[in-house]
Amino acid sequence: MNQIVKSWGLESVSDIAFKFSEMIQEVQTFEAVAKKFLDESASDVLAEYLKQLQFIQSTKSNRGFSWGISRHRPLRTAISKGSYEGGTRRGGMNVFATISTQWEISCPNEKSKKIVPQKHFHLTGLSSTSVKFFSIRDKGEEELLSVWQADIGDAVSPGCHFHIQVQREDEQTPYPRTFPVPRFPSLLTSPLAVAEFAISELFQSEWNFTASTHSSDLIKWSKIQRERMEKLLGWQQNLVKNSSGSPWTFLKGQKPDLELFV
């Protein structure tokens, strides 16, 4: 576990607090809710992702940690056999997605006893989740179709604080790595919320059916996502209502409070 400990300057970033218990439950319920839409390797990937977070919680250190899913061993969806089209339409490709992420986080000093679990962590730096869509060719070869990432900004980041970029990993057009615009505004507030969005795009009808069921895990998952989305939309609505000049430009320049999601 020591490899996830990092050291970075935290003074220049815009912190956001999250609840450990809520994020742990999010990881646990995601696997239960999305299992049929995930590759068989996903269980081990999510188990390691959860283990990292629980280790950080137990350590209770205010040093920086890198919490994530490696791009070398990403979370991988099941293969969508044309299900990315809705209704009675069917796409002509077999496709899947991979999701990797890195969040730089630390534990604030809660001044509690060592045996008491840490309640919160702060997002203190890089917070990026990358999604890659691949098609499977006739001979089983995988071809990269597109890459996009969902980011949460820092204190000096341009664009909306929560945004999505369509960006290659090299300098080829379109969307070369060194030209990170446009930054589309986003309602996706966590890596697994991004994963749900990717699944909902690949499995249009099937995911809609799953997302409308009333299993205990889906109820827990939905509650977490609903409350975060309500808080984010409420913050944005209040900013727009009280903006001066262009509301869009005003919204772009605003940074959320530390306790937006807690």
Query: What is the rounded average pLDDT of the residues 66-91?
Result: 94
User: What local confidence, expressed as pLDDT, does residue 112 receive?
Assistant: 73
Instruction: Give me the chain's average pLDDT, please.
Output: 91
- Spatial contact of 227 and 219, defined as CB atoms under 8 Å apart: no
Spatial distance between the Cα atoms of 143 and 137, rounded to a whole number of angstroms: 7
Percent of the chain whose pLDDT exceeds 70:
94
Domain residue spans in the chain? Answer: 2-252
User: What local confidence, expressed as pLDDT, does residue 51 receive?
Assistant: 98
pLDDT digits (tens, 9 = 90+) for 144-186: 999 999 999 988 888 899 999 998 888 888 888 888 888 999 9
Spatial distance between the Cα atoms of 1 and 259, rounded to a whole number of angstroms: 28
User: What local confidence, expressed as pLDDT, does residue 61 receive?
Assistant: 87
- Spatial contact of 250 and 242, defined as CB atoms under 8 Å apart: no
User: What local confidence, expressed as pLDDT, does residue 14 receive?
Assistant: 61
Query: What is the rounded average pLDDT of the residues 188-215?
Result: 96
pLDDT at 202 over 70: yes
Could you tell me the pTM of the whole model? 0.91
Give me the phi and psi of 107, to 5 degrees please: -100, 125
- Spatial contact of 150 and 194, defined as CB atoms under 8 Å apart: yes
Q: How many CA atoms lie within 13 A of 21 on its CB side?
A: 6
Q: Read off the pLDDT band of 15 (50, 70, 90).
A: confident
In the chain, the amino acid numbered 258 is L
pLDDT digits (tens, 9 = 90+) for 206-260: 999 999 999 999 999 999 999 999 999 999 999 999 998 999 999 999 999 999 9
Query: What is the rounded average pLDDT of the residues 135-143?
Result: 89
